[in-house]
Amino acid sequence: MPVMHGRDRELAAVADLLSDARASRGGALVVRGHAGIGKTMLLAAARHAAAEAGMAVLQTNGAQAEAALPFAGLHQLLAPLLGDLDALTPPLRRTLRGAFGLGDQDARPDLFCVGLAVLELLGERAARAPLLILAEDAHWLDPETLDVLVFVARRLRVEPIAALLAVRAQHTGVLARTGLSRLYLDELDDDAARRVLRDHAPGLAPGLRERILAEAGGNPLALVELPRLIAAGADADLPELLPLNERLETAFGDRFAQLPAATRAVMAVYSADAACPLPTLLSVAGALTGDEVTAAAIQPAIDAGLMQVHAQRLRFRHPLVRSAVYRSVGDMARLTIHALLAEAMAGEQDRWAWHRSAAALGPTRPSAGSWRRRPPGRSSAARSVRPSPASTGPRTSPATRPAARRCCCAPPTWPRSCTTGGSPPG
């Protein structure tokens, strides 16, 4: 079993839960934390400890593909016990068979009766050996399964049964206000993060190690995956946004595609320039959507756990959220965002030059001399977000905006590659 650095408190809570269950003082624990924070490893540690103690284990894993199928998660959990249905009283047996489509009744089964049937079936199994129930990605379980699990979990006090249910932190409404005990997984502290990195990438150069520690922000998944994505010897010349693989993009970009169009536009612009003033941020986002965008568009991203306000400054919740958002945006949308930002920052030479370069199509870039000039016809006070037709160099144009709007503001299947030839300025 892999070592979990920095999780002594959480492992002790799981050990107590299992110990109590073996003494017929059952209970449940809802484990919350952001993606990649270690919920899966904690459940694996619980499974390992339960097996070593002679406990039986049942597990269900939530999946978005089955979230709309009633009792799909419950069917997965109880599949090993379906041969024991005859141990139930006839009414409860019919109810549970009906919930799984095994009976003749077409009517929707009563949730209370399903809960009683599940509790009785689990009790029968636990009479032979204490039982651990695991529910991973519970936020993707179907509502009926969640309701039954909560019903059962609240009635384990005199049963030799323990339950662990893992939920991503941003799904705040799932398993909320249930009265079940909660265990929140925070980011690892610096010492624990260094130990994780040392275990998985012991030969990193000092500069690269510090960079990965800063980007990972105490997230164990990032600490494990980032070193695998960075070539050896790349210490000196790393881009501002480190490369991500599919696991990291999925973990840190979770829920981005489900946000409102205006919110996605704001996040896309902010990922391209995290020092962008709020008026410019909203103006460029409005140019992308074709509608006025107000500060209220930021709130859904905060509610989703992707952004936060700290010390009166807007920022991404985690450095890798910015990377995931930037790399999720379509190529034409990225080019257009940089073009609009260049025009909006006409009076700030360095940032104008960088965004103008990042908005160029193909290998051609504006010359060093042109970078030192402001866009033609623009003064430092002119901050229009409309691209200037007189600007030189291969640039995006107003004709690209419909494509950019489709890429940035519609629920997309976006390209994973970044072809703009640069990384956002810090």
- Binned at pLDDT 50, 70 and 90, residue 204 comes out as confident
- Binned at pLDDT 50, 70 and 90, residue 267 comes out as very high
Q: Given a cut of 70, is residue 412 above it in pLDDT?
A: no
pLDDT for the residue 42: 97
**Low-confidence winner among 272-286, 300-314, 397-411 (lowest mean pLDDT):** 397-411
DSSP string, 192-213: HHHHHHHHH-TT--HHHHHHHH
pLDDT for the residue 70: 94
Residue 310 buriedness (CB in 10 A; 0-12 / 13-18 / 19+): exposed
Residues 6+ apart with CB under 8 A from 313: none
pLDDT for the residue 321: 86
Q: Mean pLDDT: which of 28-32, 89-93, 232-236, 391-395 is highest? A: 28-32
pLDDT for the residue 197: 94
Q: Given a cut of 50, is residue 391 above it in pLDDT?
A: no
Q: What's the average model confidence in pLDDT over 293-304?
A: 92
- Binned at pLDDT 50, 70 and 90, residue 274 comes out as confident
For 105-142, the pLDDT digits (tens) are 666 789 999 999 999 999 999 999 999 999 999 999 99
Q: Name the β-bridge partners of 131.
A: 56, 161
- Binned at pLDDT 50, 70 and 90, residue 352 comes out as confident
For 208-241, the pLDDT digits (tens) are 899 899 988 899 998 988 887 775 445 556 666 7
**Low-confidence winner among 186-195, 281-290, 355-364 (lowest mean pLDDT):** 355-364
Q: Name the β-bridge partners of 31.
A: 166, 183
Residues 6+ apart with CB under 8 A from 312: none
Q: Given a cut of 70, is residue 36 above it in pLDDT?
A: yes
Total residue length of the chain: 426
Distance CA 190, CA 196 (A): 10
**Low-confidence winner among 7-11, 232-236, 372-376 (lowest mean pLDDT):** 372-376
Q: Given a cut of 90, is residue 303 above it in pLDDT?
A: no
pLDDT for the residue 230: 76
Q: Write down the mean pLDDT value for the chain.
A: 82
Detail the DSSP E strand segments found in 250-299. Answer: none
Tell me, rounded to whole angstroms, the distance of Cα 268 from its chain centroid: 16
Strands 56-61 and 161-168: unpaired
Q: Given a cut of 70, is residue 380 above it in pLDDT?
A: no
With vertex at residue 242, the alpha carbon angle to CA 356 and CA 276, rounded to the nearest 5 degrees, is 40
Q: Is the four-CA dihedral 35, 41, 43, 44 of positive or negative sign?
A: positive
More confident residue, 266 or 320: 266
Stated pTM of the model: 0.72
Q: What's the average model confidence in pLDDT over 168-182?
A: 92
Strands 313-316 and 307-310: antiparallel
Residue 14 buriedness (CB in 10 A; 0-12 / 13-18 / 19+): buried
pLDDT for the residue 363: 55
Percent helix, strand and coil across the chain, each to the nearest 5: 50, 10, 40
In the block, residue with structure tokens 């893992």: 166
